[in-house]
Amino acid sequence: MGGVVKRAYKYRFYPSCEQAELLGRTFGCVRKVYNLALEARTRAWAVDRQRTTYVQSSAWLTEWKRTEELAFLNEVSSVPLQQTLRHLQAGFAAFWDKRARYPRFKSKRTSRASAEFTRSAFRWRDGQLTLAKMDTPLDIVWSRPLPEGAEPSTVTVSRDAAGRWFVSILVEDPAVKPLPPVDAEVGVDAGITSLLTLSRPVPGVSDEQGKVANPRYGQADRRKLAKAQRNLARKQEGSANRAKARLKVARIHARIANRRRDHLHKLTTRLVRENQTVVIEDLSVRTMLHNHRLARAISDAAWSQFRSMMEYKAAWYGRTVIPVDRWYPSSKTCSACGRINTALTLTVRTWTCPGCGVEHDRDINAAKNILAAGLAER
């Protein structure tokens, strides 16, 4: 890994009434410009078979600002509006490369409220951050320090469904660099009963068998969440009481997500630090969620989030993450002799190989096979 890593540090902040009002308008303008550009680019392709670019959409933005109907776009900083056009361009690039679906319109109710400011749209001075068109700096809760001498290159302001405000500051972090190589490798089998099963025990991460307990944060708060959702359903649409009830539901969801993310951060950091190579299954979580009996448990396990964390931390610290083909029969293959037990069903958790007589725990056997398959692909 060459060069200094850029890392985002996220903090809560408490805006003044004026700041909250300006940022709220900025979020609305960002969403409006994104949707206008998406509509215009879709029409250009449908009518003229013309593939437009960021440069053309930026020219459209200039024209939109001159109209009486969209003159309000001039009331906020132009940088977040340009940045949302760049994000749309990235979305189209991913679609053309068949890495993502066609970009979708942003909804006021469900889309993330955020705005991105580059260096020309904020002032960083003496540890205080002031955004464009604001007279006073943001009241940020510095829960952890930025790297010494850090100079932010990008600032992203967001508001979540629970009404909390966050600022994400992107800086170069010289402390993030490759770790000394270690002579350790591990295979990881994702599950529900156990969150993960490792091919070998890792002290402080798994039990003596190599299994990592599933904390099931969503299930722990399910009763509280269900009660809040029933309360929300009884409130009249558009009323102040409905807004309060919606906020309560959002706060429970935020608590679940925060606890889950914290657990995964600690888990992935330990695995990456203590293993040179980590082999995982290339699971299609989106397809698996179609199974309505397991969808809630799969979502609560957050396998996609686990993989994402593993991959970017491995890139930071000079480690390797190897995905294994999801169709590889890791559970049915004997890790001792290689024989495939085609008669094995999902309900069977332990089995004895008919070829060599070795007794297997289904998940531990799968983790060992995943490791062997990944190392063979190197």
| 3-state helix/strand/coil string of the chain | CCCCEEEEEEEEECCCHHHHHHHHHHHHHHHHHHHHHHHHHHHHHHHHCCCCCHHHHHHHHHHHHHCCCCHHHHHCCHHHHHHHHHHHHHHHHHHHCCCCCCCCCCCCCCCCEEEEEEHHHEEEECCEEEECCCCCCCCECCCCCCCCCCCCCEEEEEECCCCCEEEEEEEEECCCCCCCCCCCEEEEEECCCEEEEECCCCCCCCCCCCEEECCCHHHHCHHHHHHHHHHHHHCCCCCHHHHHHHHHHHHHHHHHHHHHHHHHHHHHHHHHHHCCEEEEECCCHHHHCCCCCCHHHHHHHCHHHHHHHHHHHHHHHCCEEEEECCCCCCCCECCCCCCECCCCCCCCCEEECCCCCCEEEHHHHHHHHHHHHHHHHC
Q: Give residue 344's identity as a one-letter amino acid code.
A: L
Query: Do both 265 and 215 map to the same domain?
Result: yes
Separation between Cα atoms, residue 201 and residue 213, nearest integer Å: 13
Query: pLDDT digit string (tens) for 319-338?
Result: 999 999 989 999 999 999 99
- Tell me the chain's radius of gyration from C-alpha atoms: 25
pLDDT at 45: 85
Confidence of residue 181 (pLDDT cuts 50, 70, 90): very high
Q: Which residues are annotated as catalytic? A: 189, 281, 363
The number of distinct structural domains making up the chain is: 2
Query: Do both 154 and 223 map to the same domain?
Result: no
Query: Do both 141 and 235 map to the same domain?
Result: no
Query: Do both 216 and 358 map to the same domain?
Result: yes
Residue 3 predicted with pLDDT over 80: no
Query: Do both 164 and 187 map to the same domain?
Result: no
Query: Average pLDDT, stretch 92-119?
Result: 93
Confidence of residue 2 (pLDDT cuts 50, 70, 90): low
Q: Which of the listed residues 173, 207, 230 is the one where a domain comes to its end?
A: 173
Query: pLDDT digit string (tens) for 197-246?
Result: 999 998 888 898 999 999 999 888 999 999 999 999 999 999 999 999 99
Q: Which of the listed residues 150, 173, 196 is the one where a domain comes to its end?
A: 173
What is the domain range of residue 211? 178-378
Query: Average pLDDT, stretch 47-66?
Result: 91
Query: Do both 98 and 237 map to the same domain?
Result: no
Query: Do both 203 and 156 map to the same domain?
Result: no
Query: Do both 35 and 59 map to the same domain?
Result: yes
Separation between Cα atoms, residue 13 and residue 142, nearest integer Å: 9
Q: Give residue 311's identity as a one-letter amino acid code.
A: E
Query: Do both 165 and 104 map to the same domain?
Result: yes
- Higher per-residue pLDDT: 219 or 131: 131
Query: Average pLDDT, stretch 144-171?
Result: 95
pLDDT at 101: 92
Query: Do both 83 and 189 map to the same domain?
Result: no
Residue 1 predicted with pLDDT over 70: no
Q: Which of the listed residues 139, 173, 207 is the one where a domain comes to its end?
A: 173
Query: Do both 223 and 347 map to the same domain?
Result: yes
pLDDT at 175: 87
Query: Do both 166 and 290 map to the same domain?
Result: no
- Higher per-residue pLDDT: 295 or 63: 63
- Higher per-residue pLDDT: 197 or 287: 197
